[in-house]
Amino acid sequence: MKKFICLLVVFGAGLLVFAFAADFVLTKRLKKSTTRMLIGWNEIYSGNLNSNVLIMGGSRTWVQYSPQILDSILGVNSYNLGVDGSKFDRQLLKYDAYRRWNIKPEVIIQNIDFATIGITNGYEREQFFPYFSDDSLVKAASKFEKFTFLEKYIPAYRYLGHSQMIQEGIFLPVSEAILKKGYFGIDKVWDGALFDEQTDINYLQDSYVLSLFDKYLAKAYDDNIRIIFVYAPVYTGVTKKLLNVEGMYQMFDSLARKYSIPILDYNDDPLSHDTVYFYNATHLNKKSAELFSAKLAHDIDSLRILKQ
């Protein structure tokens, strides 16, 4: 019996050592990843971004706002913090990480739309796994991402079931970068299948996320960071299906008045009226995204915010 217990202890200790080693190797490797999901986080934690203009939002941000075009027209150093498949709750996590590791921006371009003030559904929650050593991030993310006890405290456990991360962390070379300053233009043609299936669309107004958004705006105001609200182009058919669109406008208008935020609205822009500019009803294709980025840059220039 004593021998069995000793073997069990040795086996358990060996397993724990292996788990710690696997966690160390996977995490270190993934922190050098240039994959779509991780490159933005890795660039944030490098501490070298130091952008004076940040672009905030979800998937409609990271595929529609080109920092390179904004930089070329406005003479700034911008970075796209857009998070695919995410509402403002997760956008704030990325912004807070940026602020802890990089200098304060002068201006934030905040994309707003019917999905901004909602709860993220857990899509690609594994993007946080390589950064569990950042207690501030894990504590804040745990409110939404619902990390389990085992994921947080058992080494390497969180990577189980995520074969692509494991393969990249151990077997495969680091992937070639596909994002440029956080932007990823998607060169696809129109596919309206999902849009055709939808009847009515509700704008999201989660009370807790709305309070987070308000506090974020208040903090930026106190820190003398200028914010610009932008309704990026969305296919006009979406707006027609949106229930109580006036309520959405009133919600953001109220916040804009409260914090003296200008609003640039492209929901009725010519780009919004033709499916040729989109690859689905809410996302511009690459060519159109870069047309929009140039138009946006000139409109921001006319606000004279960057010259004040």
* Residue range 29-37: mean pLDDT, rounded: 90
Query: What is the per-residue pLDDT for 170?
Result: 80
Work out the pLDDT band at 9, boundaries 50, 70, 90.
low
Residue 117 lies in a domain: yes
pLDDT digits (tens, 9 = 90+) for 36-73: 899 999 999 999 998 999 999 999 999 999 999 999 99
101-115, 215-229, 238-252: which range is least confident on average? 238-252
Q: What percent of the chain has pLDDT over 90?
A: 73
Say what the pTM is.
0.93
CA 118/CA 52 separation, integer angstroms:
27
* Residue range 125-147: mean pLDDT, rounded: 93
Residue 308 lies in a domain: no
* Residue range 77-104: mean pLDDT, rounded: 95
The larger pLDDT score, comparing residue 4 to residue 208, is at 208
Residue 142 lies in a domain: yes
pLDDT digits (tens, 9 = 90+) for 138-192: 999 998 888 999 999 999 999 999 988 988 888 766 666 678 999 999 999 999 8
pLDDT for residue 307 is more than 70: no
pLDDT digits (tens, 9 = 90+) for 245-295: 899 999 999 999 999 999 999 999 999 999 999 999 999 999 999 999 999
pLDDT for residue 15 is more than 80: no
Classify 264 as helix, strand or coil. strand
Query: What is the per-residue pLDDT for 5?
Result: 65
Residue 233 lies in a domain: yes
Four-residue CA torsion sign, 67, 287, 195, 230: positive
Query: What is the per-residue pLDDT for 196?
Result: 84
Query: What is the per-residue pLDDT for 14?
Result: 61
Query: What is the per-residue pLDDT for 101?
Result: 95
CA 82/CA 40 separation, integer angstroms:
9
Residue 97 lies in a domain: yes
The radius of gyration of the chain from alpha carbons, rounded to an integer in Å, stands at 22
**What integer best gives the mean pLDDT of the chain?**
91
| Bridge pairing between strands 283-284 and 278-280 | antiparallel
Residue 166 lies in a domain: yes
Residue 256 lies in a domain: yes
Domain count along the chain: 1
Nearest one of 47, 35, 80, 87 to 62, comparing CA atoms: 80
Domain hosting 87: range is 2-303
Q: What percent of the chain has pLDDT over 70?
A: 92
Which range, 114-128, 209-223, 232-246, is most confident? 209-223
What CATH number does residue 210 fall under?
3.40.50.1110
The neighbouring-strand residues paired with 107 are: 53, 226
Query: What is the per-residue pLDDT for 164?
Result: 87
Nearest one of 136, 44, 33 to 83, comparing CA atoms: 44
Query: What is the per-residue pLDDT for 10?
Result: 53
Residue 177 lies in a domain: yes
Mention every residue, 6+ apart, whose C-beta is less than 8 A from residue 249: none
CA 36 to the chain's CA centroid: 11
